[in-house]
Amino acid sequence: MTTTGLKTLVLELRKFAKDRDWEQFHSPKNLSMALSAEAGELLEHFQWLSEPESSRLDESKKLEVSFEMADILLYLVRLADVLEIDLIDASLKKISLNQKKYPIALSKGTNKKYTGLK
Amino acid sequence: MTTTGLKTLVLELRKFAKDRDWEQFHSPKNLSMALSAEAGELLEHFQWLSEPESSRLDESKKLEVSFEMADILLYLVRLADVLEIDLIDASLKKISLNQKKYPIALSKGTNKKYTGLK
Amino acid sequence: MTTTGLKTLVLELRKFAKDRDWEQFHSPKNLSMALSAEAGELLEHFQWLSEPESSRLDESKKLEVSFEMADILLYLVRLADVLEIDLIDASLKKISLNQKKYPIALSKGTNKKYTGLK
Amino acid sequence: MTTTGLKTLVLELRKFAKDRDWEQFHSPKNLSMALSAEAGELLEHFQWLSEPESSRLDESKKLEVSFEMADILLYLVRLADVLEIDLIDASLKKISLNQKKYPIALSKGTNKKYTGLK
């Protein structure tokens, strides 16, 4: 498994920040805020849509949504770089944890939080 | 360039949802909410820290932060899969757009939004 | 019109912060993060519910939701106090602006953003 | 204690929604999303500012921030109305709970979460 996709983004973003002397603004605190603000912009696209409507976006809306998602990924990747966190590795570990937290037999077809499973 | 890293996550998450019959809950609307809620949990780790403190997390805190970031990535990847969006492609396009929005000469060393650049 | 309700909260929160020597942490930046993190916790309660389900919470869930909403109000009130902003006054002005932005004739029964009205 | 301030907002917002036939969109789920999206817009104002900078906004920025805060309050008040929750009452109860969670002697001058107090 390689992670060239994310690695390319890491390098592009490093250069982007360095070229603009923006490393001074990229504290984890600030990056977490920027990421969360972008997550808010993503929400905004869906807030008045029904669930089925949210599944069938027209092309122009889908493009806008894809750029909001890109913004989130870019801040996430930049934050991971600054904190020296391996995103893919952490994600695989998290999937593993979730498999234990939500055993198939107990969680099948229910939207209950793991604390409510029995 | 390959994106095996993200692709692996896509496949794992598809299986995770299918095994639990959770596809019914994974509308883009719902996934955008879950993603944003996780972004809020990330914020919580940094909200009372100064910027320098946010840069030097101890190992236990860093692990917690890495799992919050994993949660964000997992919902982002899942949402992209459901909407049939190529995250890496959208991100590269967004970097390109940002390069035009924030020309080096105008944005060097300033934290102004592009609308305030001149 | 009086705003004793909010004013009481302002005073309680001032005392709460002063007693704990927490004023040093209550920069607008930090308070905006805490507020947003609480908004994320509110989301979490609704993320897997359908819209109709979100309208008929049982008493225990409703109590939890009311406390998340209280957390949001408390940080909002505290932030307004620190920034010397009159929340009620700003809100009445915002309603006025929204009335112009969303004329009844154009916006009746549609979930379109004002930029999409015609 | 009266809560005329918030009560006025409740009534204005009810009329606003009714006039536009928007009650159909105001499920708690949707309102929680709109609220959280507004919290994200608030964050955006502060994300690249240092803490001291966030305390000394110029008048034009302060006005923008006050409108973001108004948006948050308006959705919060509307959500409370739809769910039949008394915001002031819930907030006073929450302050009471916080006083127990953060005893002055243990929490004075520290930014630790209550789970980290000893």
Query: Are B96 and B72 found together in one domain?
Result: no
d(CA D96, CA C77): 16
Position C3 scores a pLDDT of 47
Query: Are C41 and C14 found together in one domain?
Result: yes
Q: Structure tokens of B86?
A: 């190529």
Interchain contact C34–B (C-beta under 8 A): yes
Query: Are B52 and B17 found together in one domain?
Result: yes
Query: Are B23 and B80 found together in one domain?
Result: yes
Query: Are C93 and C41 found together in one domain?
Result: no
* Integer angstrom CA distances of residue D75 from A6, A37, C27, C94, D118: 37, 17, 24, 12, 37
- Is C1 inside a domain boundary? no
DSSP state of C56: S
Interface probe, candidates A25, A27, A31, A33, chain C, greatest C C-beta count within 10 A: A33
Mean predicted confidence (pLDDT) in B97-115: 90
Cβ neighbours for B91, distance < 8 A, ≥ 6 positions apart:
A9, A70, A73, A74, A77
ipTM of the complex: 0.94
Position B118 scores a pLDDT of 65
Residues of D in contact with C80 (CB under 8 A): 69
d(CA A15, CA A78): 11
For the four alpha carbons of B72, B78, B79 and B85, in that order, the dihedral sign comes to: positive
Q: What is the pLDDT of residues B62-93, one digit of tens each?
A: 999 999 999 999 999 999 999 999 999 999 99
Nearest by Cα to B27 from B74, B69, B82, B77: B82
Interchain contact B30–C (C-beta under 8 A): yes
DSSP state of C102: S
Query: Are B72 and B35 found together in one domain?
Result: yes
Q: Give the minimum alpha-carbon distance from A1 to chain C in angstroms, rounded to a whole number.
A: 32
Q: Give the minimum alpha-carbon distance from A68 to chain D in angstroms, rounded to a whole number.
A: 13
Q: What is the pLDDT of residues C81-118, one digit of tens each?
A: 999 999 999 999 999 999 999 999 999 999 888 777 76
pLDDT surpassing 70 at residue A1? no
Which residue of chain A comes nearest to B19, CA vs CA? A104
Domains in chain C: how many in total? 2
CATH number for position D65: 1.10.287.1080
- Is A106 inside a domain boundary? no
Which residue of chain A comes nearest to C39, CA vs CA? A40
Q: Which of residues 60-99 of C touch A (CB under 8 A)?
A: none
Residues of D in contact with C39 (CB under 8 A): 32, 35-36, 39, 72
Identify whether the C-beta of residue B103 lies closer than 8 Å to the C-beta of residue A16. Answer: no
Which residue of chain B comes nearest to D33, CA vs CA? B33
Position D115 scores a pLDDT of 75
Nearest by Cα to C3 from C77, C65, C75, C69: C77
List chains touching B (3+ CB pairs under 8 A): A, C, D
Interchain contact C107–B (C-beta under 8 A): no
Q: Structure tokens of C11?
A: 């005073």
Contact C111 A48 (CB under 8 A): yes
Position A15 scores a pLDDT of 97
Query: Are B63 and B114 found together in one domain?
Result: no
Residue D1 CB burial class (10 angstroms; 0-12, 13-18, ≥19) = exposed
- Is C2 inside a domain boundary? no
Interchain contact A34–B (C-beta under 8 A): no
Give me the total of CB pairs closer than 8 Å, taking one residue from chain B and one from chain C: 45
Cβ neighbours for B108, distance < 8 A, ≥ 6 positions apart:
A19, A20, A21
Q: What is the pLDDT of residues C23-80, one digit of tens each?
A: 999 999 999 999 999 999 999 999 999 999 999 999 999 999 999 999 999 999 999 9
- Is A56 inside a domain boundary? yes
Contact A69 B87 (CB under 8 A): yes
Residue indicated by tokens 């009086």: C2
This prediction has a pTM of 0.95
- Report the 10 Å Cβ neighbour count for B41: 20
Domain that holds residue D15: 4-85
pLDDT surpassing 90 at residue B117? no
Q: What is the pLDDT of residues D54-82, one digit of tens each?
A: 999 999 999 999 999 999 999 999 999 99
pLDDT surpassing 60 at residue B7? yes
